[in-house]
Amino acid sequence: MWPYVSETRIKLMDPKIDFAFKQIFAVNSQESKTVLMALLNAILDRDEDEQITDIIYLNPYTDKPFEDAKQIVAGESYFELNPCIVINILDFNLIRENEHYHSVFDIRERRRGFQLVGDLEIHYLELNKLSGYADATDLTTLEEWLIFIKDAANVEKRELIETIKKRNEVIAMAEKILARASADEFARAAYQQRRKWYLDRVSSEKYLIKQGIEQGGKIKALDIARKMLSLDFTEEQISLTTGLSKEEIATLRKE
């Protein structure tokens, strides 16, 4: 089911699809810069004097004016490199060791745990770990942003999103950008194509995982059957234990 903005009756794209996300945060406009800076500052949680105040968008290819920014000039120190921060917003759980939705990694000495340099950070934000937010009362700014990204396209979460928009005017701006993009015929066509690709890929991955689990189970059953054969169990006993057919067990006996 598609959501809509009540005032305009526009069905919203899902920000979890990369095309829609880029329409909000990666268009070279002052509005997109404003919402992206707000999101990044919420993620990085820096002191006020260290917060991001401007953004330069680079396309995926190396722009000539910025080629030197990607490498060290001869004679310079590694410590003169600009900080490198990688931010991953995931629609699935990856970090099993941390139940919290936000994991941050940096470079540290293994035994003593001290940081080598503070110029490399890798952030993982796992949307599926956000839970227990019946209302917006105790949400942090980062949680408001992540819920918007996760649920802006969810009709059932519309009331919560509206509350968040009243609390956070920049998120309200982000939804206006999303609504405009959602109303654009060509943008929606491109989004639908990308969404279909995404859903097809997810379905394929789930199928492959299911096949892998089933195949792994079959391999385990065959190993158990071989051990039971070596211990002179009957084919019926082996079949009941492993779920293998008597024909499959007979083939193993001939190995």
What is the structure's pLDDT at 20? 93
pLDDT top residue among 115 and 101: 101
DSSP secondary structure string for all residues of 210-250: HHHHHHHHHHHHHHHHHHHHHTT--HHHHHHHH---HHHHH
DSSP secondary structure string for all residues of 117-155: -SSEEEEEEEGGG----SSSTT--HHHHHHHHHHHTT-G
Please tell me the total number of residues recorded for the chain in this structure: 255
pTM over 0.85: no
Name the maximum alpha-carbon separation found in the chain.
Answer: 76
Tokens of 16: 């979890």
Residues 194-221: tens digit of each pLDDT? 888 877 776 766 665 566 666 777 788 8
Residues 112-168: tens digit of each pLDDT? 888 887 778 999 999 999 877 777 788 999 999 999 999 999 988 999 999 999 999
Find out whether 133 and 147 touch, Cβ atoms under 8 Å. yes
End-to-end CA distance of the chain: 55
3-state secondary structure of 93: coil
Residue with tokens 């937010």: 133
Tokens of 124: 């993982």
- Under the banding of pLDDT at 50, 70 and 90, the label for residue 61 is very low
Strands 4-5, 102-105: parallel, antiparallel or unpaired by DSSP? Answer: unpaired
3-state secondary structure of 182: helix
